[in-house]
Amino acid sequence: MLVKMKKTAIIVGASADIGIKIVESLKKRDWNVYGTCNKNKEKLERQLDKSNIFKINLNSENSRRELEEMVIGIWRREKRVDAGVYVAGLWNPFFKFIDEDEDKIKEMWNVNYHGAYWFFRALVPCMIQIKNGSFVSISSTAWTKGSPHAETYGATKAALANLMISLSEELANYGIRANIVSPGPTNTKAFRQYYPNDMDVSEIIKNIPINKLAEPENIANCVAYLIEDKYVTRQNIILDGASMF
């Protein structure tokens, strides 16, 4: 009897609210899921076996090697990797442009862009072998509408989106697709950290025609669709509740 191998996905930055929901949603769809974290392991350990979790600090000089070793290790174990999702991100709003800290700028590029670059580059040779694969990156509405008081954040998210667009064309012939999800304000712990006050959140919601923040599961549903549909590629799905920009 032929045993059908489960499809395998790797989620980089799986440990916070959006990443966890993506893990949950893919598991429900019977995917075999691997995830990375940096400082926070607890929520991810409730979702995945220890052997499916990798601790990688994307702001370290070892991160490229660690990402490559993770991808090769999973490939050898599973004999396939069907999807790579890049969720890791660092946000640091509310500073004056001229005050932006140099170390923070470097960290943001490392976490928001360079990690994605090396992750997807490690995945390409594996996916070419099975002539199938899907990349999804979580960018932000900041990349299309600009990001005053968070210039580097917006620039890194624009670079990430641009990488996906370029890869979608370069790799289409190998059956590899690449898409972007760009959320607006989303109800996560990270967002609430910057907007702890309900009055401030209400002000934000006033500018969202659908009258509410996105929830992490909205992002996760969209990621699952982009991964599973075999034709959709080079798309940027904006999840901003019809906000004007």
Ligand X SMILES: NC(=O)c1ccc[n+]([C@@H]2O[C@H](COP(=O)([O-])OP(=O)(O)OC[C@H]3O[C@@H](n4cnc5c(N)ncnc54)[C@H](OP(=O)(O)O)[C@@H]3O)[C@@H](O)[C@H]2O)c1
Least Å distance, CB 3 to ligand X, is 33
Listed in sequence order, the DSSP H helices in the chain are 17-28, 42-47, 63-78, 102-109, 115-130, 142-145, 151-171, 189-194, 198-206, 216-228
Closest residue by Cα to residue 214 from 21, 29, 52: 21
Least Å distance, CB 4 to ligand X, is 31
Least Å distance, CB 30 to ligand X, is 23
174 vs 195 by CB, closer to ligand X:
195
CA 150 to the chain's CA centroid = 19
145 vs 175 by CB, closer to ligand X:
145
Helix, strand, coil percent content, the chain, rounded in steps of 5: 50, 15, 35
Least Å distance, CB 98 to ligand X, is 23
Least Å distance, CB 195 to ligand X, is 9
Which residues bind to ligand X, rule: CB under 6 A? 13, 15-19, 37-40, 56-59, 87-91, 111, 138, 140, 183, 185-186, 188, 190-191
Least Å distance, CB 140 to ligand X, is 4
126-157 as b/e, with b when 16 or more CB fall inside 10 Å?
bbeeeebbbbbbbbbbbbbbebeebbbbbbbb
User: CA–CA separation, 245 vs 50, rounded Å?
Assistant: 42
CA 185 to the chain's CA centroid = 15
30 vs 61 by CB, closer to ligand X:
61
14 vs 127 by CB, closer to ligand X:
14
Least Å distance, CB 17 to ligand X, is 4
Cα 36 to Cα 84, 136, 165, 211, distances in angstroms = 11, 15, 24, 33
Q: Of how many residues is the chain composed?
A: 245
45 vs 78 by CB, closer to ligand X:
45
80 vs 239 by CB, closer to ligand X:
239
5 vs 190 by CB, closer to ligand X:
190
For residue 121, the SS3 value is helix
